[in-house]
Amino acid sequence: MFRRTIALMLTVLLGAAAVSMLVSSPRPSRAEDLGWTPTEIDLDGSVLSVAEDSFMLLATDGREFQVNTPLGRPEALSRGDAVRVTYNGAQTRSIPAQIVGLSVLSERVEGTVLSVTADGFVLACEDGRTLDVISSACVREGGSATVWLADGEVLKARGEVLSGTVVGLDGSTILLENEQGLLVEVLVTDTTLRLAEPVVGEALSVAYGSQMTLSEPAQLAAFEIF
């Protein structure tokens, strides 16, 4: 009976000591458990809308994100601008997913097309620079173009733009009327970058995806709508 009592007491003491070690030992973080080191990730895309401390981003792979910007964002950022967002890889499971922008890069450059090349065009920028731009945007020699840069890399280019009011919708075709009363049938294709949804009676801008025809009404394919 005495031996059984001593054995029971030793068991209780050893168990208490094990619990004490578990409680007192520092628990590594989840990241340490997994051997994971946070990394910075670059995400390119176009701005869908802008709020005071965040903006909606349509990434180049088609995903949408709410980018929260506690550290600030470019003051002139607006819908249609191309940006490069750097974040730490963490995102919420909400729809759309939310990320925190550690930095937001977007330099908008406007100019005149000097020449059209096999894979893009040469742009004479208003600030005096000359850029060789690789892009499928529809431009013409002597016409205007806009390019967005991040660390000197071209994020997106946009050729001439038609702005007006949506006066009709028929499947993938938008009937747009500009300020001069010109009616244009705009064809939206699978490759069109859609940063806005056309609504009859509301304003819409279209970046050319093809040269405008001389037909009545005139026709063009949309490279981008915003």
- Domains along the sequence of the chain with CATH: 41-105 (2.40.50.110), 107-158 (2.40.50), 161-225 (2.40.50.140)
CA 156, CA 60: separation in Å to the nearest integer? 10
Amino acid symbol at 192? T
Is the predicted pLDDT of residue 35 greater than 70, yes or no? no
| Strand segments (E) across 51-201 | 54-59, 64-68, 82-87, 97-100, 103-105, 107-117, 120-125, 130-134, 144-150, 153-158, 161-170, 173-177, 183-187, 193-194
Q: Give me the chain's average pLDDT, please.
A: 85
**pLDDT tens-digit map of 113-136:** 999 999 999 999 999 999 999 998
Whose CA is closest to 104, among 146, 39, 53?
A: 53
pTM for the whole structure: 0.76
Percentage of the chain beyond pLDDT 70 is 82
Number of neighbouring beta carbons within 10 Å of residue 72: 10
Report helix, strand or coil for 37: coil
